[in-house]
């Protein structure tokens, strides 16, 4: 689903006499762009694999996308079910799978999935928890509880302190993705609960016309807020695992929350 445009993108388009042609960053051409944008990012992979080695073979990778986490898990000998809402993202993963990979691809909403089996490890990487509003996060936690094997672990990533500060500031910057330069524009909504991010190719056309603008909308969440939600949803207090990211101290850019079900909790499953 396409998100709104930032004020900065609207202004630039208006000054050029152009109109936006909004597109979802996770679908169609957006899926290819997203893969090129984040595919080379190795953040959290080492830490996810470290946790995975302590668990059994069955792994559920939620919001798996094009396989940034799925593929390393497969190479580590895991049997992975890769679930994503976007068939376009999973098509890119399918094209990258080794012929002998033990991997099932499932197009589904992670807040509603019912796969009929349990997993030793469930992963939600790339801070994808921020795709979900409060009600959907509660639904997700219930899905995770239903699908975790006894002694299984739910592993999810959230932004660290330094990243949180950057995500809460309105910014415009130019980035190169492939051979194209894009304006990456970020705007935080007035209530501070979420941010809108747009990517618009530059330069803008010299004559009025339509300009493709890829969009997404993401919740602003920190580790403490997610940990509190997890406890309310029937999980034990999570272990916080710092992630090594370039340019900042471990844990400042990203952390992993490693959590298990509280067997004594009285929650619907």
pLDDT tens, position by position, 112-150? 999 999 999 999 999 999 999 999 999 999 999 999 999
The string of pLDDT tens digits covering residues 161-216 is: 999 999 999 999 999 998 999 999 999 998 999 999 999 999 999 888 999 999 99
Sheet order of strands, 171-177 included: 19-24, 210-219, 194-202, 180-188, 171-177
CA dihedral 30, 101, 106, 85 (to 10 degrees): -20
| pLDDT for 262 beyond 90 | no
Q: Which domain holds residue 67?
A: 38-159+222-259
| pLDDT for 269 beyond 50 | no
In this prediction the pTM is 0.94
The string of pLDDT tens digits covering residues 248-259 is: 898 999 999 999
Please, which contacts does 45-48 make with residues 24 or more away whose CB atoms are closer than 8 Å? 45/69, 45/72, 46/244, 47/241, 47/243, 47/244, 47/256, 48/72, 48/73, 48/123, 48/125, 48/155, 48/256
Sheet order of strands, 254-259 included: 103-107, 79-84, 58-62, 119-124, 148-159, 254-259, 239-242
pLDDT confidence band for 41 (50 / 70 / 90): confident
- Please give the mean pLDDT across all residues of the chain: 94
Q: 73 and 25 in one domain?
A: no
| pLDDT for 247 beyond 90 | no
Q: Tell me the CATH number at 141.
A: 3.40.50.150
Give the residue-averaged pLDDT of 63-71. 96
Examine residue 265 and state whether it is found in any structural domain, yes or no. no
Q: 245 and 135 in one domain?
A: yes
The reported pLDDT for the residue numbered 268 is: 52
Q: 228 and 207 in one domain?
A: no
Q: 42 and 108 in one domain?
A: yes
Q: 205 and 148 in one domain?
A: no
Examine residue 75 and state whether it is found in any structural domain, yes or no. yes
Examine residue 269 and state whether it is found in any structural domain, yes or no. no
Give the residue-averaged pLDDT of 41-68. 95
Q: 78 and 152 in one domain?
A: yes
Examine residue 236 and state whether it is found in any structural domain, yes or no. yes
Q: How many domains does the chain have?
A: 2
The string of pLDDT tens digits covering residues 86-110 is: 999 999 999 999 888 889 999 999 9
The reported pLDDT for the residue numbered 246 is: 81
The reported pLDDT for the residue numbered 207 is: 87
């Amino acid at each position: 689903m396409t998100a709104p445009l930032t004020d900065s993108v609207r202004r630039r388009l208006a000054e050029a006499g152009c109109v936006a042609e909004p597109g979802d960053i996770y679908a169609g051409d957006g899926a290819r762009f997203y893969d090129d944008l984040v595919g080379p990012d190795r953040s959290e992979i080492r830490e996810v694999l470290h946790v995975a080695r302590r668990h059994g073979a069955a792994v559920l990778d939620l919001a798996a996308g094009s396989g940034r986490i799925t593929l390393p898990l497969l190479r580590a000998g895991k049997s992975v079910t890769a679930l994503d809402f976007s068939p376009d993202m999973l098509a890119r993963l399918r094209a990258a799978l080794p012929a002998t990979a033990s991997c099932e691809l499932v197009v589904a909403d992670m807040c509603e999935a019912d796969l009929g089996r349990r997993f030793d490890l469930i992963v939600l990487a790339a801070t994808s928890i921020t795709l979900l509003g409060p009600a959907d996060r509660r639904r997700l936690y219930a899905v995770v509880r239903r699908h975790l094997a006894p002694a299984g672990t739910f592993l999810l990533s959230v932004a660290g302190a330094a990243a949180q500060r950057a995500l809460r500031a309105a910014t415009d910057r130019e980035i190169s993705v492939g051979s194209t330069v894009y304006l990456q524009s970020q705007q935080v909504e007035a209530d501070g609960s979420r941010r809108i991010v747009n990517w618009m190719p530059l330069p803008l056309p010299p004559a009025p016309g339509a300009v493709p603008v890829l969009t997404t909308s993401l919740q602003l969440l920190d580790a403490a807020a997610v940990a509190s939600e997890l406890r309310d949803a029937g999980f034990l207090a999570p272990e916080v695992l710092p992630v090594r990211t370039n340019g900042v101290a471990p844990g400042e850019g990203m952390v992993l929350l490693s959590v298990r079900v509280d067997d004594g909790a009285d929650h619907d499953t």
